[in-house]
Amino acid sequence: MVKIDLNLKCVVFDMMVGGHDISYCYQCGRCNDDCPVSARWGSRYNPKDIVLFSALGYKEALFAAVKRDSFVLWGCTACETCDEVCPSGIHITDIICLLKNAAVAAGAAPAYYYDSSKAIMDAGMAIPVQAAIEKRRETLGIGASPKIPVDEVKTIMQATGADKLIEIGGTKK
Ligand code: SF4
Ligand code: SF4
């Protein structure tokens, strides 16, 4: 039986601003037709379905699909093309962003998001400085990589609760 998450429904309906209510979606499919990710990956990615599942509160169904293939949600590049073409003016990219945040908080995001976030907290950057990169910088005459204030990065991540989200991701592995 499909479970309805009323909280997700409320959050998604509440976040729509300027009258671009998600209930105005009539499933025309224009967002999907013009989405560059969908054009490349076909049935693996469909913003129209994401909007429908959000409006119906099918969070678990959506997250279960994400578990089978993270591309279902994380394939979105946030290019906002769908927002521009939606005849109902729905802010689809915001909905997808909200769902991504919910997935992170539930430990349902792909492992590499948590791993990259942890690398940023530990080293101030997702890709730590490497000898090969430094050598290339020297060749290009742009000097050594700037020093990252790792403590400041860590403080910001702790203040925003990002450290807790990274922990949640770690426990779900
Ligand atoms: S383009 Fe807008 S109205 Fe059409 S399916 Fe997508 S979200 Fe719904
Ligand atoms: S924002 Fe995401 S869903 Fe919308 S067109 Fe771009 S890739 Fe597709």
- Here the CATH number for the domain that contains residue 61 is 1.10.1060.10
Domain boundary among 51, 72, 105: 105
Domain boundary among 105, 124, 159: 105
Q: Are 59 and 132 in the same domain?
A: no
Task: Answer yes or no: is the C-beta of 30 below 6 A from any ligand 1 atom.
Answer: yes
Output the CA 56–ligand 1 centroid distance in Å: 14
pLDDT, one tens digit per residue, over 88-111 is 999 999 999 989 988 888 888 888
Task: Give yes or no for residue 173 having a pLDDT over 70.
Answer: no
Task: Answer yes or no: is the C-beta of 91 below 6 A from any ligand 1 atom.
Answer: no
Task: Answer yes or no: is the C-beta of 51 below 6 A from any ligand 1 atom.
Answer: yes
131 phi, psi to nearest 5 deg: -55, -40
Q: What is the pLDDT of residue 17?
A: 54
Q: Are 20 and 97 in the same domain?
A: yes
Task: Give yes or no for residue 19 having a pLDDT over 80.
Answer: no
Residue 1: inside a domain, yes or no? no
Q: What is the pLDDT of residue 171?
A: 66
- Nearest Cα residue to atom 3 of ligand 1: 25
Query: Domain range holding 15?
Result: 6-105
Across the range 69-98, mean pLDDT stands at: 92
- Nearest Cα residue to atom 8 of ligand 1: 25
Task: Answer yes or no: is the C-beta of 48 below 6 A from any ligand 1 atom.
Answer: yes
Cβ < 6 Å from ligand 2: which residues?
35, 37, 47, 76-82, 92-93, 96
Residue 128: inside a domain, yes or no? yes
Residue 153: inside a domain, yes or no? yes
Q: What is the pLDDT of residue 87?
A: 94
Band the pLDDT of 169: cuts 50, 70, 90: confident
Q: Are 33 and 117 in the same domain?
A: no
Residues of the chain with pLDDT > 70: what percent? 95
Q: Are 35 and 96 in the same domain?
A: yes
Residue 64: inside a domain, yes or no? yes
Please count the structural domains in the chain. 2
Q: Are 115 and 101 in the same domain?
A: no
Q: Are 77 and 117 in the same domain?
A: no
Output the CA 173–ligand 2 centroid distance in Å: 28
Angstrom distances, CA of residue 81 to CA of 39, 62, 72, 121, 165: 12, 22, 17, 32, 29
Classify residue 128 as left (phi > 0), alpha (psi -120 to 50) or beta.
beta
Q: Rounded distance, CA 36 to CA 48, Å?
A: 13
Q: Are 10 and 50 in the same domain?
A: yes
Task: Answer yes or no: is the C-beta of 88 below 6 A from any ligand 1 atom.
Answer: yes
What's the whole-number average pLDDT of the chain? 89
Output the CA 133–ligand 2 centroid distance in Å: 32
Token pair, residue 157, equals 């991540």
Long-range contacts of 62-66 (CB under 8 A, 24+ apart): 62/99, 63/103, 63/106, 63/108, 66/103, 66/108
Q: Are 83 and 118 in the same domain?
A: no
Q: Are 117 and 65 in the same domain?
A: no
Q: Are 36 and 86 in the same domain?
A: yes
Q: What is the pTM of this model?
A: 0.84
